[in-house]
Structure 1
Amino acid sequence: MTNQTKISAIINLWKEDKKQYVKKSSLSAYQLLIDNHLLPIFGNKHEVVETEVQDFVFTKLDEGLSQKTIKDILIVLKMILKFGMKNKLIDYHQFDIKFPTERENNGIEVLSKANQKKIMNYAQEHFTFKNLGIYICLSAGIRIGEICALTWEDIDTETGVIHINKTIQRIYIIEDCDRHTELILDSPKTKNSIRDIPMSRDLQKMLKPIKKVVNSSFYILTNDIKPTEPRTYRNYYKRLMKELNMPELKFHGLRHSFATRCIESNCDYKTVSVILGHSNISTTLNLYVHPNMEQKKKCIDQMFRCLK
């Protein structure tokens, strides 16, 4: 097929089509990847060939991007090219891209048990609504956007359940020549993220008297009608960790710490996956289930006992 349609034009048509089906936040994420990575390299081209994509991958690796980020960019590129092919704007031949073997596995960042106890004790002894949020994250494994969106009506202290059904995030908006960011309150990206999480007895005991006197429509972190946004709360968390002489740990490390404690306590993997709101159990297994030598030895011993 001989065609003079530029990739940039196909991208614009693809975005208009995509608007009908995806959330504003998803479109915003696509837009960032397109503007920062795809348009500068492929925008003025009339076709995309495998060798160019492979060179693009190596360049991005050299720039310090992670393999996961690059794979996310390629997913968007493939969606655009398939859309172009479907609408007879471009020829598209599936490409097979190679990535270097990742020799290092840095693992996930988690708090030690001692440090987790220290933070939870501090939050109890120095009560503020922001400290309460950190205690909830360590007790329930919820994400930063979910804790920022949590209101008192989502807390049922009688049944001891936290209802997770919304998230807050700041997204990047491009409308014609106007570029700005917006703070949006939305439902979680996947249906699995809408979930009910049981409270620990300590958390339920802490929340019960507070729930009786607060406005149920107020956000927990502010105890006000207005929420705090994830970036602001993340900055507060960083200052608190520094104040408590804690190791540098991303906010998401609180969620990792919760999940790791669950796995260490021999909780059922499927149950942990549902509590975390993962779309499938393999995500949970890949992130948190890494048997140590003692567990592997126990497995071998059990197998040979069965043989006998």
Structure 2
Amino acid sequence: MAKRANGEGTISKRIKNGKVVGWRGAISLGYDLQGKPIRKTVSGKAQDEVREKMAALLAAQHTGTLADAENLTVAAFLHRWIDSKERDGVKPNTLRSYRDTARLYITPQLGRKKLEKLTPLDVEAALTALRRDGKSPQVMSYTLRVLKMALRQAVRWQMLPRNVAEAIKAPKTTRPELHVWTPEQVAAFLDQSQTHRLHAAFYLALMTGMRRGELLGLQWSDVDWERSRLKVRHNLVEVRLEAKPGKMHAGKLAVSSVELVLQTPKTAGSRRTIILSAGTLSKLQEHRQRQEAERKAAAEAWQGHGNDGYVFASEIGTATDPRNFYRWFTQILAEAEVPRIRFHDLRHTAASLMIRRGIPPKTVSERLGHADVGFTLRTYTHLYDEQREEAAFDINDFFPTAGAVN
């Protein structure tokens, strides 16, 4: 065998039980930050096969397309990817969903697998295992989505030549049935909430479709009284953090703690301006007068900050706990004897009221803060189908039938 030139690498026999069972080739890729040589190996049954693989590696190195997974396992890579998402400023709750998905669903199935050896069949097998464990199509679909996102980053970092998860189709999921109130049920709920100190918040939710976090994060500086509109600029969320060392809960060491954090909305579409009707504006004005009375009663205990204070604050001006807000909501709907729905379903109810009034899909989409009108149309297909049925007409609807007697 002819001697190979510098930089072409070396080829050696693979011997087992005294017999040649194949060949191994190795090439040098330079040096790492510690000055240690970086080498990559390939193997095959014949020398020619190994030479072809080595030539492909050298070509990829020269063109800058050589992938290097640094011998990481999938688990180690996911840890690095999540750390990078945190540096990118991804919202804490989104980060937590990535971590939980990696820990609960990806790592148990694929964590020990070398990243560079991951195949589409490995991903398919992982999803099959989740299905056998009784996981829902929604969980399986989200798990695949997270893995695809992570592997796209691996490709961008030139750790992988391609994203093997892209070859796998997500399991079919059924869109959950929308639960909305009729106009009569909306009226019954709002009538029952009249005496509650946060009646205006429930009214605003049903008239605008604002999310719970958007309502509780709303500040007085966001309301434009002269132009009858408000800006959605904040989102009050519960962030689950690691508990402080030694903190106890129910007689046991606490694992995590919940903290209220005022964030910016997650997407550009969520940052929006909402036009308010005269009735809605009047509700906000009444609420402001009620809050002013609470501020005077609280005196020095009040923690609000003037025009930057929360619109739907607690009785001492602090942010309202979302869990308390939801508890009040469920109490009112029980007293109003209307169907039990989630608070988020008030958003769907608001959309249904807008659609039934004939408001164009584009306007509904912008008012709700959806990313695009297509999502609005897909989400509320059945409501738009009702409108399409009403749109069917005959020419006789416009002109009297020929020969008809007046």
Asked if Structure 1 and Structure 2 have the same fold, meaning a TM-score greater than 0.5 normalized by the shorter chain, the answer is yes
Corresponding position: 1:189 with 2:189? no
Q: Which residue pairs with 2:212 in the alignment?
A: 144
Q: Which residue pairs with 2:388 in the alignment?
A: 295
Q: Which residue pairs with 1:245 in the alignment?
A: 337
CA distance in 1, matches of 2:161, 2:223: 53
Contact 1:263/1:289, CA 8 A, preserved across alignment: no
CA distance in 2, matches of 1:54, 1:301: 53
Corresponding position: 1:128 with 2:197? yes
Corresponding position: 1:276 with 2:368? yes
Contact 1:5/1:89, CA 8 A, preserved across alignment: no
Corresponding position: 1:230 with 2:297? no
Q: Provide closer, same or farther for how the CA distance between residues 284 and 69 of structure 1 changes in structure 2, counting only shifts above 3 A.
A: farther
Q: Provide closer, same or farther for how the CA distance between residues 36 and 297 of structure 1 changes in structure 2, counting only shifts above 3 A.
A: same
Identity %: 24
Deviates most, 271-280 or 161-170: 161-170
Q: Provide closer, same or farther for how the CA distance between residues 87 and 292 of structure 1 changes in structure 2, counting only shifts above 3 A.
A: closer
- Number of positions where the alignment pairs a residue of Structure 1 with one of Structure 2: 299
Q: Which residue pairs with 1:170 in the alignment?
A: 238
Please state how far the C-alpha of 1:92 moved relative to its aligned partner. 4.6
Q: Which residue pairs with 1:70 in the alignment?
A: 140
Q: Which residue pairs with 2:301 in the alignment?
A: none
Contact 2:140/2:171, CA 8 A, preserved across alignment: no
Q: Provide closer, same or farther for how the CA distance between residues 158 and 87 of structure 1 changes in structure 2, counting only shifts above 3 A.
A: closer
* SS of residue paired to 1:74: helix
Q: Provide closer, same or farther for how the CA distance between residues 58 and 236 of structure 1 changes in structure 2, counting only shifts above 3 A.
A: farther
What is the alpha-carbon root mean square deviation over aligned residues?
3.0
Corresponding position: 1:7 with 2:99? no
Deviates most, 3-12 or 59-68: 59-68
Deviates most, 233-242 or 208-217: 208-217
Contact 1:263/1:269, CA 8 A, preserved across alignment: yes
Which of 87, 94, 98 is residue 30 of structure 1 equivalent to? 98
Q: Provide closer, same or farther for how the CA distance between residues 297 and 243 of structure 1 changes in structure 2, counting only shifts above 3 A.
A: closer
Deviations 1:279-302 (Å, cap 9, x if unpaired)?
111111111133446734744858
What is the TM-score of this pair, normalised by structure 2? 0.65
AA aligned to 1:117 is A
Q: Provide closer, same or farther for how the CA distance between residues 98 and 81 of structure 1 changes in structure 2, counting only shifts above 3 A.
A: closer
Q: Provide closer, same or farther for how the CA distance between residues 100 and 9 of structure 1 changes in structure 2, counting only shifts above 3 A.
A: closer
CA distance in 1, matches of 2:154, 2:170: 26
* SS of residue paired to 1:19: helix
AA aligned to 2:358 is N
Which structure has the highest strand share of the two?
2
Corresponding position: 1:16 with 2:75? no
What is the TM-score of this pair, normalised by structure 1? 0.84
* SS of residue paired to 1:192: coil
Contact 1:8/1:43, CA 8 A, preserved across alignment: yes
* SS of residue paired to 2:237: strand
CA distance in 2, matches of 1:294, 1:186: 37
CA distance in 2, matches of 1:64, 1:128: 44
* SS of residue paired to 2:230: strand
* SS of residue paired to 2:269: helix
Q: Provide closer, same or farther for how the CA distance between residues 137 and 248 of structure 1 changes in structure 2, counting only shifts above 3 A.
A: same
Higher relative contact order structure (alpha carbons within 8 Å, sequence separation ≥ 6): 1
Please state how far the C-alpha of 1:121 moved relative to its aligned partner. 2.0
Contact 1:28/1:173, CA 8 A, preserved across alignment: no
Contact 1:10/1:89, CA 8 A, preserved across alignment: no
After TM superposition, the structure 1 = structure 2 runs for residues 32-47 of structure 1, keeping only pairs within 5 Å, are 32-47=100-115
Contact 1:168/1:186, CA 8 A, preserved across alignment: yes
Deviations 1:186-210 (Å, cap 9, x if unpaired)?
1001111111112222221222244
Q: Provide closer, same or farther for how the CA distance between residues 108 and 294 of structure 1 changes in structure 2, counting only shifts above 3 A.
A: closer
Corresponding position: 1:220 with 2:311? yes
Please state how far the C-alpha of 1:68 moved relative to its aligned partner. 4.1
Please state how far the C-alpha of 1:28 moved relative to its aligned partner. 2.6
CA distance in 1, matches of 2:135, 2:374: 24
CA distance in 2, matches of 1:98, 1:68: 13
Please state how far the C-alpha of 1:122 moved relative to its aligned partner. 2.2
* SS of residue paired to 2:105: helix
Q: Provide closer, same or farther for how the CA distance between residues 66 and 255 of structure 1 changes in structure 2, counting only shifts above 3 A.
A: farther
Q: Which residue pairs with 1:97 in the alignment?
A: 168
Deviates most, 147-156 or 250-259: 147-156
Which of 189, 192, 199 is residue 276 of structure 2 equivalent to? 199
AA aligned to 2:373 is I
* SS of residue paired to 1:108: coil
Give ranges in structure 1 of 5+ residues lacking alignment. Answer: none
Please state how far the C-alpha of 1:234 moved relative to its aligned partner. 1.9
CA distance in 1, matches of 2:99, 2:170: 24
Deviations 1:61-110 (Å, cap 9, x if unpaired)?
455655444333212212222333444545655343345555x6542111
